[in-house]
Amino acid sequence: MALTLMPPRVHPNSKGVSLRASDKAPTGPEPPPEKQPPDVMVPAKAAETSRPERRAHMIELRILTGAVVLLALHALYVFSVGFGHNISDRMGSRQAQTALPVRSLLEGSPWFAYQTPLFGPPWGLPIEFPLYQWVTALLVAITGMPLMAAGRIVSIGFFFVCVVALWKILEFFHTELRGRLVIVALLLVCPIYLFWSRTFMIETCALSVCLWFTLFALRAASGLRRKDLAIATALGVFAAVVKITTFAPFWVVVAGWLAVLFWKRLVGVKRSALLAALLLAVPLLAETAWARFADSVVARNELAASFLLSSNLHTWVFGRLADRFLPDLWDAVSTRMFPEILGMTALFFCILVLLPLAQRYSRYAALCVVLFFVDILAFPGLHKIHPYYQTANAIFLTAAAGFVICGLMRGGESHRIGGYALFVVLIGSCLYRYYDSYFPAQQKEDTALTLTGQEVQRHAKPDQFIIVRGDDWGAEIPFYSHRRAIMDRYFSKEQIQRRIRAAAPATVGDVLYCRDARKELDGLDLYGRIERIQRDYGLEVTSTSDDGLCEHWFSGADSMNASGANSSLPCIGTIDMPGDNETVRGKVLVAGWALSGLRIKVIEIAIDGQNVASAGLATIRPDLVAAYPQYPGHPFNGYNAPVDPARLKPGRHTVSASAVLQDGSSHPIGKRTFIIP
């Protein structure tokens, strides 16, 4: 049976303002209830059903209610797993970019032009409207709880607020209790929400505001109550400025509802114009105003302005027309989005096939499927790259599945069995997907960047800042180290140096080369690396360390400077490879270490007294720092050089190594005997 979108009936009051019957003030005996139109989705009257059918219906509702309760308890368990871990499970950089402003707010940062200290002064960088950040900072200030725990609690709280808002919206559309329970159950088990609702991100906050905006906008449009209209307008403003990409499909819902009311002549032209202005135009104008304000703050910092101004992000956010037809996008939809919302891709196509059998709910289900794709088509690049963006639209696909299941449950025996089976399969597949894909990331804490942050704290003072190369503009290292940063996204040397000068009197405390950026120093010996860092960042490097993820270059109090002070220390070293009297075949790798108070220019390798190779100090040897603390406190004092012994005769040979210092003197550092068979 086709479903007509029937708005709640409206009645004019004495002032000509339409009100829903339920909103009218009681002025006497209520008139007899109007006969419900055939398309309004309400359960069949009890008088029209037999006692066994009513009993079966009650049992069904109890089972569904129990399922919702169990799944809510399961969600709480899931949210507790890894609750005390750091925020580097997935999209740690994005989580840290949200957490940093909260810390800044707690330290006295401006409320709107808040600081995200990633690109040097001025430190203000309002990436998003800070509603979530305000709530989290307030929770920390009131309770004194750790920052990361507060961020998770706020996200989880907003998720359950989303559940309540969804329930109210389903009530508004007269969805029967069975349908509401099914849809909420599917929301509670959706892998997307089970994982991202516990992260330090604004996703559930944005979704919650959008859902409540939609509810009050629907009420305001149908009943024209001033209170509902005022609340809806305020919520619309917040929804748009907090995250416009989440707001988009809900804006379409409200716009479509206003169009239906106007088309059915339930609201006049003037009222329609007023509703459209307040519910549709005002939020967009507010978002535009916020974007301009944010741009004005970002523009003050040349590094951030080079790529974070809204004019630079337009293509990144909205993409090009051709992006909507790229195979990569639709491959991501089918292989990642569908499974992370429904558990399996096949279930999406199953829902499409069963749509005509959903009876009164078929049109609602179809509209929800369309709304799911609206957000993807509006922001194709963001959805293709970022899995958490589906937090905005997964709720529509979940609702579509719920409507189909509820429609099947209203049918004959075979349809009911199919509805129950689909419900069970969806829950099972979602649980399997979550525990297979997301749960391992929650269980095991990734501490690599936490250790990097601790290493930074050992080298850089709290009033210093750090420079990070090779981590784009990721905020995890600044967040874990509690240090302000300049994230070098391969900016020019002049740009970086201007930001360094602008930070005065603060100084650079640590320069980090992370991940692929470490390769930039390959081919340079220890002193070549020191000279490059001093040239690019103006830091007089005296020490270095390596935490496995990043190389740290800093100024240590007990270390020599780049020119090689502390010349009284003698030159020492050894050859570790090959071992003494070792039999070698093929090329011989000569490796060892050398330390000196004066700068070591090169290590000369000789076999049987003839120079055959040379090497620089570039191999990490952290064991030397503790063993020889009076020498330079860096670990790059190892060397290695491959030697081809093809011209050597079989028998015993001697390999020796000498360190040539800055003053030209040569110092033997080791000798070994090896055997060529």
DSSP per position, 73-92: HHHHHHHHTTTTS-S-SSSH
**What average pLDDT does the segment 445-461 reach?**
93
Q: Which of 123-132, 203-212, 217-226 has the lowest mean pLDDT?
A: 217-226
Contacts of 29 (CB under 8 A, 6+ apart): none
pLDDT of 31 higher than 50: no
Whether residue 22 has pLDDT greater than 70:
no
What pLDDT is attached to residue 605?
92
pLDDT recorded at residue 9: 45
Residues 6+ apart with CB under 8 A from 42: 36, 174, 176
Q: How far apart are the first and last CA of the chain?
A: 90
User: How far apart, in whole angstroms, are the C-alpha atoms of residue 532 and residue 55?
Assistant: 81
Q: Which position has the higher pLDDT, 357 or 585?
A: 357
Q: Which letter, b or e, does each residue of 487-510 get, where b requires 16 or more Cβ atoms within 10 Å of its Cβ?
A: bbbebeeebbeebbeebeeeebbb
What pLDDT sits at residue 633? 52
117 closest CA partner among 104, 131, 136 = 104
- The string of pLDDT tens digits covering residues 64-87 is 999 999 999 999 999 999 999 999
Please, what is the angle between helix 282-298 and helix 310-318, to 10°? 130
What single-letter amino acid sits at 543? Answer: S
Identify the pLDDT of residue 349.
Answer: 96
Dihedral over alpha carbons 626, 629, 634, 639 (to 10 degrees)? -80
Please say if the pLDDT value at position 194 is more than 60.
yes
Q: Which two tokens stand for residue 185?
A: 């159950």
pLDDT (mean) for 91-111 = 96
CATH fold, domain 572-676, is Immunoglobulin-like (2.60.40)
Averaged pLDDT, 562-591:
79
For residue 215, which of 272, 281, 169, 283 has the smallest C-alpha distance? Answer: 169
Contact 55, 375 (CB under 8 A): no
**What confidence score (pLDDT) does residue 543 get?**
79
- Domains of the chain, by residue range, sit at 171-200+319-444, 448-554, 572-676
- pLDDT tens across 356-397, in order? 999 889 999 999 999 999 999 999 999 999 999 999 999 999
- State the pLDDT confidence band at 632, using cuts at 50, 70 and 90: low
485, β-bridge pairs: 466
pLDDT of residue 338: 97
What is the C-alpha separation between 478 and 97, in angstroms, rounded? 10
Please identify which residue in the block is written with the tokens 């080791």: 670
**Which band of pLDDT confidence, cut at 50, 70 and 90, is reported for residue 235?**
very high
Compute the residue count for the chain: 677
Average predicted confidence (pLDDT) for the chain: 88
> 113-117, 480-484, 634-638, 664-668 — which is least confidently predicted?
634-638
599 versus 590: the higher-pLDDT residue is: 590
Which structure tokens are listed for 338?
Answer: 């569908």
